[in-house]
Structure 1
Amino acid sequence: MFDILIKNAKLRNYKELKDIGIKGGRIVEISDNISDKSEKIIEAHGNLVTESFVNPHLHLCKVYTLMKMNEEALKDYHGENMGRAMTAIELAAEIKKQYDEKWIIPNVRKALNLAVENGVTHIRAFADVDSKAKLVGVKSLLKVKEEFKDKLYLEVVAFPQDGIVKEPGTYELIKEAIKLGADVVGGIPWIELTEEDEKEHIDKMFEIAKEFNKPISMLVDDAGDPGLKTLEMLAVKTLKEGFEGKVLAHHARAMSMYSTPYLMKLIELLKKARIGIITDPHTGPLHARVKELISEGALVALGQDDISDAYYPYGRNNMLEVAFLASHILWMTTQKDMEILYDMITINGAKSMGIKDFEIKEGNLANLVILKEKNILESLRNHEKPQYVIFKGNIL
């Protein structure tokens, strides 16, 4: 007796339709025609059934804050080849003076309900920690994380958006955030004013990660400046500290301006350090060199990044929509490209977050979506909500 039996599913790695038997939260059988009884039978009608979607980068404490401020930060972040990105961050910081759980938590619930509807079951969520936000964002996300634990997996990142050296006292606040229950140590070293301060920023965040045995996510080189090299600093530090496979790098937009010889050396360094790159090409005019990273065998995934805040006015927590946009921005439009894009919002995202037993295989956790379409082309074209979303073997 299965808990759920999915009939006539189109799987990405099989030519023929398959049945999927789920019990105890796991996939226990994939075969041509399962006749066993089940508590619930879902007829897929040949539609695409895949792993659920993963969003490894979302500034969740800021969702739906755009209407609380003017558009100056948005203009600076998107304009002048991102030359004023640091100014944009400084302008956007004003909203944190108003931080209050009373409005943050409802906004977060709205964003996470959208995630569930759109089949996003795993999210790495950033919460700003600094002299203005204090620990309000972290505490808000931790509360909502508990509320949604049966609907999605949420990792909370304690994120020093305005710097460590630039923002005295933030180091201690990040430490306190981890003690409260934050899952990941954040970082944004490029925001510091000197190379020495950038290295100190990275060193300080590694201190905390090592003390509490936590993974690291850092936003690096997020501006139109080819002189920014904090991604290289992060990779070197990762190797030095033996943190291979426990570090994620986000944005790396300055990479778009690097010379090819330096980029190739950097990619080899990233592979050696087992650092994945999370790119969000829809939220800024520059982006990481995705095609080169992929062709050289580096791990790359897509993130939503923002939902209606100072950096991006749109967003629905819909990773199919993110992949659809990336297909245009990156000119990844062949069938092979579409398969890669789909990996970037499913299995690559899971790998980047260190999620185990994620792929559709017997014995793995049942985190699935049953789409309304029969192939990836139509799924990306329409980027609609799935017919069914299954998390840990439960139909949401």
Structure 2
Amino acid sequence: MTTLLIKNVTLKGQEGLQQILIEDGQFKRIESNDVELSHNGDIIDAEGGMAVAPFCEPHIHLDTTQTAGEPSWNISGTLFEGIERWAERKEMLSIEDVKARAKQTLKWQIANGVQHVRTHVDVSDPTLIALKAMVEVREEMKEWVDIQIVAFPQEGILSYPNGKELLEEAVKLGADVIGAIPHFEFTREYGIESLHYVFELAQKYDRLIDVHCDEIDDEQSRFVETLAALAHKFDMGNKVTASHTTAMGSYNGAYASRLFRLLRMSGINFVANPLVNIHLQGRFDDYPKRRGVTRVKEMLNANINVCFGHDDVFDPWYPLGTANMLQVLHMGLHVCQVMGYDQINNSLDLISNNSARTLNIQDKHGIEEGKPGSLLILPAENGFDAVRRQVPVRYSVRHGKVIAETQPATTHIHLEQAEQVTFKR
């Protein structure tokens, strides 16, 4: 029997210091620090840090990651030049290439406390090279990270030759989630038909659904209503995700009010990608220039499940990024104006618990006795402190084993005398 005891740790909703005992990969006991626990394994002193559930990445394209500047940089920074640069890089794809780049970014994610990843993989390719590569990566990395693969029809389902057949073949090859991109189809009718097909396929193969939905500034792009209506019709809301929905930021108030009633009824999930949405949207605007992020604040107020993702890391569409979810959260809170104290203090849910619901893994995610013994230790007093100081992940524990640790940096200034600066009040 392998055991790990974590002492001197804080937990949200609990007074004082706690201790957490993990046995054989599961949370065995969570007690006050002064309770005597029988233990003969490893001990971690959290030094007053906070324990939180592992971070989740609900939306990333691992097949394109680590390709920024190859073979040339996106000089304009636009979506359209990004597509051109990717078309050049796509000619160099091989299974070995995709696997090496995906694993590099997965290592960055693991170092930053991510233990669950949903990656969208382009299946608008007769060879399905990227998908086959990611199926191998999922198996090879499963000890350290859980990966869900979305079969993502980048060029459309109805608008790409054999799009339907390629999507179904991707599912047969092992995709966990079925994607779509209705706003990119040639016509509105194609977009609607693509959504109906996705639900047909999801029910046939018992898969989740995650749609790139209304990722455009066009206020007339309203495929999310069809997505929600179908989810409601088939009672699949908890298995359905609308990613991006950036057009929602341009909807008029009357339509948005009616839409939100349907969204609540459907129970679907939402993913916003603040870093990339704020960067790519609004490119056709003069001034005032829209922010290009969906209505996160309103969703939170309406108890609609919403979370944050990266979308891209170091690729033709987004040249920055270290796969740090706290950077995503920091940007999202600013752009969505979710900056009240309680909002910030509870905001880790946007990259953890809410994301777990989106991935439909909430039954095995969270710090509760009987659940898998996976958690993070953050060197922070609470969620507000963690976000404000952008703290590193001190320890990432997965099934009772430490898979990542970071020594927090120390900073000194030299004025009249040397003094350490902790950035705490």
TM-score range, shorter chain: over 0.9
Specify the alignment match of 2:116 in structure 1: 122
Specify the alignment match of 2:162 in structure 1: 169
Return the match for 2:53 from 46, 51, 54. 51
1:329 counterpart = 2:331? no
Distance, in Å, in 2 between the alignment partners of 1:90 and 1:204 is: 29
> How far 1:364 moved relative to its partner?
1.6
1:97 counterpart = 2:91? yes
Distance, in Å, in 1 between the alignment partners of 2:75 and 2:294 is: 22
Q: Deviations over 1:162-219 (max 9, x none)?
A: 1011101121111111111111111111111211010111122222212111010001
Distance, in Å, in 2 between the alignment partners of 1:93 and 1:196 is: 27
One-letter code of the match for 2:9? A
Specify the alignment match of 1:36 in structure 2: 38
TM-score, structure 2 as length reference = 0.87
One-letter code of the match for 2:354? N
Specify the SS of the correspondent of 1:270: helix
Specify the SS of the correspondent of 1:282: helix
Preserved contact between residue 244 and residue 277 of structure 2 (Cα < 8 Å): no
Distance, in Å, in 1 between the alignment partners of 2:76 and 2:359 is: 28
Specify the alignment match of 1:295 in structure 2: 301
> How far 1:76 moved relative to its partner?
2.7
Specify the alignment match of 1:62 in structure 2: 64
One-letter code of the match for 2:40? S
Specify the alignment match of 1:358 in structure 2: 365
Preserved contact between residue 118 and residue 147 of structure 2 (Cα < 8 Å): yes
One-letter code of the match for 2:90? K
> How far 1:338 moved relative to its partner?
1.2
Counting only pairs closer than 5 Å after superposition, residues 1-396 of structure 1 correspond to structure 2 as: 3-32=3-32, 33-72=35-74, 75-77=77-79, 89=83, 92-131=86-125, 134-285=127-278, 286-355=292-361, 356-396=363-403
Specify the SS of the correspondent of 1:8: strand
Specify the alignment match of 2:283 in structure 1: none
Distance, in Å, in 1 between the alignment partners of 2:183 and 2:64 is: 21
> How far 1:322 moved relative to its partner?
1.1
One-letter code of the match for 1:137? A
Cα distance change on mapping 1:167 and 1:94 into 2, 3 Å: farther
Equivalenced residues, count? 387
Specify the SS of the correspondent of 1:68: coil
Distance, in Å, in 2 between the alignment partners of 1:377 and 1:216 is: 33
Distance, in Å, in 2 between the alignment partners of 1:2 and 1:100 is: 40
Distance, in Å, in 1 between the alignment partners of 2:318 and 2:169 is: 29
One-letter code of the match for 1:378? D
One-letter code of the match for 1:148? M
> How far 1:240 moved relative to its partner?
2.4
Specify the alignment match of 2:421 in structure 1: none
> How far 1:102 moved relative to its partner?
2.5
Cα distance change on mapping 1:261 and 1:88 into 2, 3 Å: farther
Deviates more, 1:41-50 or 1:328-337: 328-337
Specify the alignment match of 1:80 in structure 2: none
One-letter code of the match for 1:31? E
TM-score, structure 1 as length reference = 0.93
Distance, in Å, in 2 between the alignment partners of 1:363 and 1:114 is: 29
Distance, in Å, in 2 between the alignment partners of 1:94 and 1:233 is: 35
Q: Deviations over 1:294-327 (max 9, x none)?
A: 1111101011111011221112221112111212
Deviates more, 1:177-186 or 1:264-273: 264-273
Structure that is richer in helix per residue? 1
Distance, in Å, in 1 between the alignment partners of 2:374 and 2:252 is: 40
Specify the SS of the correspondent of 2:41: strand
Q: Deviations over 1:357-378 (max 9, x none)?
A: 3121122222200112222233
Specify the SS of the correspondent of 1:28: strand
Distance, in Å, in 1 between the alignment partners of 2:274 and 2:166 is: 31
Preserved contact between residue 118 and residue 384 of structure 1 (Cα < 8 Å): no
Cα distance change on mapping 1:224 and 1:67 into 2, 3 Å: same
One-letter code of the match for 1:99? L
One-letter code of the match for 1:125? T
Q: Deviations over 1:6-51 (max 9, x none)?
A: 1011111212111111112111111113431131111111111110
Preserved contact between residue 109 and residue 324 of structure 2 (Cα < 8 Å): yes
Cα distance change on mapping 1:46 and 1:227 into 2, 3 Å: same
Deviates more, 1:53-62 or 1:278-287: 278-287
RMSD of aligned Cα (Å): 1.8
Distance, in Å, in 2 between the alignment partners of 1:213 and 1:299 is: 22
Distance, in Å, in 2 between the alignment partners of 1:94 and 1:197 is: 28
Specify the SS of the correspondent of 2:170: helix
Give unpaired runs (5+ residues) of structure 2: 279-291, 404-425
Which protein shows a greater Rg?
2
One-letter code of the match for 2:185? E
One-letter code of the match for 2:20? I
Cα distance change on mapping 1:64 and 1:57 into 2, 3 Å: same
User: Percent of aligned positions with the same letter in both sequences?
Assistant: 31
Distance, in Å, in 2 between the alignment partners of 1:354 and 1:208 is: 18
Cα distance change on mapping 1:327 and 1:16 into 2, 3 Å: same
> How far 1:339 moved relative to its partner?
2.9
Deviates more, 1:223-232 or 1:197-206: 197-206
